[in-house]
Structure 1
């Protein structure tokens, strides 16, 4: 391919369609048009469909792309060199896939200039010097067809997963609404009181901490904490089925139910462990409510503090939150529905992971040998 720049002087009163390039070989995206009255540039460069384009600034992390039809005729700055492929020797779509392959831009990154990751720029000459094994045109087109089919399957799976997730969420919300509409409200302190299990610190021991992710994404495990480093911090043991709150981020959904794999782990004073009364409520039912719009609103009100993320859930405020308490049978029925929904989500996620791993493997097979 050859460096092919199409410069255009900025004309007063005009606007110019503009694009950006995603990192990691994920293609181009439309940006707000450039207004001649607002840009400091004197020249912009027009791009054409099928050209190879990259961002000098983000080349180090794979900001390369083939210009799609919908961005034909857009304009970019001089930070986005463009190349035209010699169609007598190479299929532009094949070259486009080559630049989506991580090994291509990692090799090009090795020749970048500048200091620091985000100041390294790849010069167009470096791109043109890059060498790789070029199959015959017929084989190139076969490779493109296979990669396009795999990419289409991944896109279809992603769209299907979004649809399924929406259906699951709607089903759970409707079911939850049915069993809670006329349910009595009771204070959390009565339904699931705070339970503390203090841990005596041994300076020679180490302690496995548990954390709670925001946005309802469950628990995670922290590295072992040496007892000698605990200092004045208090630790409390966690048991399966505890309802856990990270008091700093509870207002943004840092609520989880401790799992079997969390057994034996500890939480600091920043974590509140509530244990539902067995005859009154279940932890998974309460978790669902706290992650609903009403529950998050209640946690927000119970978490005073400054702007941004500097907010803390108060113990008394949590105990005073009134939660809906339908019959235990109704809660257990809903928990069973949640379990089925979780299984469906896991199945979707497993398939998506397998498909996502397929494309890099196919590119490795197709392009292996670049230098």
Structure 2
């Protein structure tokens, strides 16, 4: 259902509770996570450690937004544990008008993609100086059903969140059990210490970058998160002179983030895509290590712990996990015949985790938000927002 829309100024009223900071008093500071993830504690410091003599005190249930990062979803409702915390003038504070909206309803609205789009429309400025314009923000429109309907929407979304969290907890438990099974099996069944230099060979398919070709890219998530597709890159988009083309079964290592588990075995779905030269690729020696087995082993925290000491450099931006460091690592490995027997077992446990979690679980809540507030209402709010920005 599409609900009537109202200007945010009818729901949110600016609020200022400016206090003098006392040097010896401890204050909680608020920070806003990006992309509608809400407010959290930045830290707790004394007044003497804050580079200002006055700041604004916030109260539970107020809406706080970052002028600088509003367009990136940096805002949220003050939780109970941040009641009495302080924020700078870069974080405008608003009271939710109880006769128009429930605080929880505003909190849920602010988690939608289209609300972030409203904040983008309400921000202006040159590069690195884009700021939220408060008056323009309050002139944006959001869907606003009656309070009784707001209560129904909030109750439904709260119940869905509890259910999703239960499913995610079950998936996490299965994932942890799988990792424990992999590690225990790897150290148990006729395992012998093997230097990775005997199990992996540097194997890179370097492709010179041509000016008239787009190269689809891959990235690697940290902590065993695996490969993911990125956008295409042309010669004009990069200073690199070549990319590494991936092949199925290759072990891919991010030199920059390998120490935190940004490693993965390339599956068929990523074969033929490209990675920067900072991603080194290795071929598994088939007489020592099976790619399917290593795909599981390389995702475990146990294996990631082996990578951190092999990283060299000064400061996080200079640390590198270079091929010679990786190949010098020694790990226990069972014979390849045992590896072949273990992979189907790992597959069955991984399939159970996938069934318990559902591949699109992360998209379920956003879809429910669109449905709860009405896709038409969201689009209408966006349209009115664009009209306001253009006037």
With the shorter chain as reference, the TM-score category is 0.7 to 0.9
Whichever of the two has the greater Rg, that structure is: 1
Q: Can you give the 5+ residue segments of structure 2 that lack an aligned partner in the other structure? A: 1-11, 385-391
Matched, 1:343 2:351: yes
Matched, 1:283 2:291: yes
Cα deviation for residue 323 of structure 1 reads 5.1
Cα deviation for residue 247 of structure 1 reads 7.1
CA, structure 1 residues 337+295, in 2 after alignment: closer, same or farther (shift >3 Å)?
A: same
Matched, 1:326 2:338: no
Q: What is the correspondence of 1:135-284 to structure 2 with a 5 Å cutoff? A: 135-179=145-189, 183-186=191-194, 192=199, 194=201, 213=220, 215=222, 216-218=224-226, 240-243=248-251, 253=261, 255-261=263-269, 271-278=280-287, 281-284=289-292
Q: Which residue of 1 aligns with 2:131?
A: 120
CA deviation profile, 1:104-147 (whole Å, cap 9, x unmatched)? 34224323243225532232x23333334432221222122222
What is the TM-score with the length of structure 1 in the denominator? 0.75
- Aligned residues between the structures: 360
CA deviation profile, 1:310-352 (whole Å, cap 9, x unmatched)? 452139x83x765544344422222222222332343325152
Larger displacement relative to structure 2 (303-312 or 46-55): 303-312
What SS class does the counterpart of residue 374 from structure 2 fall into?
A: helix
CA contact (8 A) 2:186 2:334 kept: no
Name the CA distance, whole Å, in 2 between partners of 1:131 and 1:225. 39
Larger displacement relative to structure 2 (100-109 or 55-64): 100-109
Q: Which residue of 1 aligns with 2:16?
A: 5
What is the TM-score with the length of structure 2 in the denominator? 0.72
CA contact (8 A) 1:250 1:313 kept: no
CA contact (8 A) 1:208 1:264 kept: no
Using CA pairs under 8 Å that are at least 6 residues apart, name the structure with larger relative contact order, 1 or 2: 2
What SS class does the counterpart of residue 133 from structure 2 fall into?
A: coil
Q: Which residue of 1 aligns with 2:107?
A: 96
Cα deviation for residue 253 of structure 1 reads 4.9
CA, structure 1 residues 2+332, in 2 after alignment: closer, same or farther (shift >3 Å)?
A: same
Q: Please report the RMSD computed on the Cα atoms of aligned residues, expressed in angstroms.
A: 4.2
Q: Which residue of 2 aligns with 1:353?
A: 362
Name the CA distance, whole Å, in 2 between partners of 1:78 and 1:204. 47
CA, structure 1 residues 303+57, in 2 after alignment: closer, same or farther (shift >3 Å)?
A: closer
Q: Which residue of 2 aligns with 1:28?
A: 39
What SS class does the counterpart of residue 350 from structure 1 fall into?
A: coil
What SS class does the counterpart of residue 213 from structure 1 fall into?
A: strand
In proportion to residue count, which structure has more strand? 2
CA, structure 1 residues 200+252, in 2 after alignment: closer, same or farther (shift >3 Å)?
A: closer
CA, structure 1 residues 13+265, in 2 after alignment: closer, same or farther (shift >3 Å)?
A: closer
CA, structure 1 residues 39+343, in 2 after alignment: closer, same or farther (shift >3 Å)?
A: same
Cα deviation for residue 354 of structure 1 reads 4.1
Name the CA distance, whole Å, in 1 between partners of 2:16 and 2:177. 48
Matched, 1:45 2:56: yes
CA deviation profile, 1:133-166 (whole Å, cap 9, x unmatched)? 4322212221222222223333333333333322
What SS class does the counterpart of residue 103 from structure 1 fall into?
A: helix
CA deviation profile, 1:211-235 (whole Å, cap 9, x unmatched)? 6736545556785999xxxx99798
CA contact (8 A) 1:212 1:245 kept: no
CA contact (8 A) 2:182 2:296 kept: no
Larger displacement relative to structure 2 (361-370 or 140-149): 361-370
Q: Can you give the 5+ residue segments of structure 1 that lack an aligned partner in the other structure? A: none
